[in-house]
A and B are shown apart, each in its own frame.
Chain A
């Protein structure tokens, strides 16, 4: 057998290089997020957008390099379940914000 039993399981094999790359990218993204807020150089709206963008990029970095989610056939159902969960989160969080802020405006 050329590979170990967990090779194409829900969390596939990473290499030292892939973990180091994911770690370095995450450290840089985290420092950027904190640096932007603690430095206070950006105005409010661009700052908020930048923070969301950095968080989303780091989310994908960690999914790719730590949890090895990619478009390979072994990860197909993991990816589908994840995308469906993102859709539910969008409804959940987006819907709550929409309804509660709408209510707030009318009160």
Chain B
């Protein structure tokens, strides 16, 4: 901390992530702004969940969730994403200790586990489309692919973001802006795991229960 303590106006330019104790520094404002984005993303998912629930029984003579869903595979997917979320948490703990090596390790673990989740999801999609249960088969499948696919797309962008942050850790190190970005990426990554709780409960488990 420099002598700039006296000049920490909220959002003052040139004071990114610097501020006195209790002050609303830039990192705090950016994290809150990102939180508002996550809330709006939750509204997007609400619309997709509402659509799915309405369409869930419109099979058009096609396959039902019971015919399609493989719960053991979904359980593995769920564990992969959950462990990835926890691994990111450990990277955040390391970041606050300034332990660059452990931050990298946590990010790489979160990336690998998240990639495993995505590969399993894409394999499932490919299998469904291969047996004629693609998004064009019925209202249920259209809503299924849209909801689960939108979540998968978010995970894809999260993975890209992790790669970008690994590159920035190498080129810039643990600077204040990099820490701020890692914090926001962490919020995004944990958020995606929370949305997945809704997906595996409403789509997969309740789908099989009917």
Q: Show the binding face of A for B, using Cβ within 8 Å.
A: 1-6, 8-11, 13-16, 19-20, 22-23, 26-27, 30-31, 33-34, 37-38, 44, 47-48, 51-52, 54-55, 58-59, 62-63, 66-67, 77-78, 81-82, 84-85, 88-89, 92-93, 95-97, 100
Most chain B beta carbons < 10 A, residue from A37, A66, A88, A89:
A66
- Asked whether A1 and B1 contact (CB < 8 A) given A59-B197, A66-B190, the answer is yes
CB distance from A92 to the nearest CB of B (A): 5
A55-B197 in contact (CB<8A): yes
A84's nearest neighbour on chain B, judged by CB, is: B39
Most chain A beta carbons < 10 A, residue from B51, B176, B194:
B194
| Given A26-B82, A48-B209: 20 more A-B contacts, CB < 8 Å | A9-B183, A11-B31, A13-B92, A13-B96, A19-B86, A19-B90, A22-B86, A23-B89, A34-B78, A38-B72, A48-B206, A55-B198, A55-B201, A59-B197, A62-B190, A88-B43, A88-B46, A92-B46, A96-B51, A97-B53
A38-B71 in contact (CB<8A): yes
B71 contacts across to A, CB distance below 8 A? 34, 37-38
A69's nearest neighbour on chain B, judged by CB, is: B35
B27 contacts across to A, CB distance below 8 A? 5-6, 9
B35 contacts across to A, CB distance below 8 A? 10, 78, 81
Q: Check B208 for interface membership: any CB of A closer than 8 A.
A: yes
- Asked whether A2 and B21 contact (CB < 8 A) given A34-B205, A67-B190, A89-B46, the answer is yes
Q: Check B12 for interface membership: any CB of A closer than 8 A.
A: no
Give Cα distance in the complex from A6 to B181, angstroms. Answer: 11
B82's partner among A30, A55, A84, A89 (CB-CB below 8 A) is A30
B86's partner among A23, A63, A92 (CB-CB below 8 A) is A23
- Asked whether A37 and B50 contact (CB < 8 A) given A30-B78, A58-B197, the answer is no
A5's partner among B19, B43, B74 (CB-CB below 8 A) is B19
Q: Check B18 for interface membership: any CB of A closer than 8 A.
A: yes
Give Cα distance in the complex from A54 to B79, angstroms. Answer: 16
B50's nearest neighbour on chain A, judged by CB, is: A96
CB distance from A59 to the nearest CB of B (A): 6
B82-A23 in contact (CB<8A): yes
Q: Check B42 for interface membership: any CB of A closer than 8 A.
A: yes
B92-A14 in contact (CB<8A): yes
In order of increasing CB-CB distance, the 10 nearest A-B pairs are A10-B31, A19-B89, A9-B31, A96-B50, A23-B86, A55-B201, A66-B190, A9-B28, A89-B46, A85-B39
A52 contacts across to B, CB distance below 8 A? 201
- What are 22 A-B contacts defined by CB distance under 8 Å? A5-B19, A5-B25, A6-B17, A13-B92, A19-B90, A19-B93, A27-B79, A30-B75, A30-B82, A31-B75, A33-B200, A34-B71, A51-B201, A55-B197, A59-B198, A66-B85, A66-B86, A88-B43, A89-B42, A92-B47, A93-B46, A93-B49
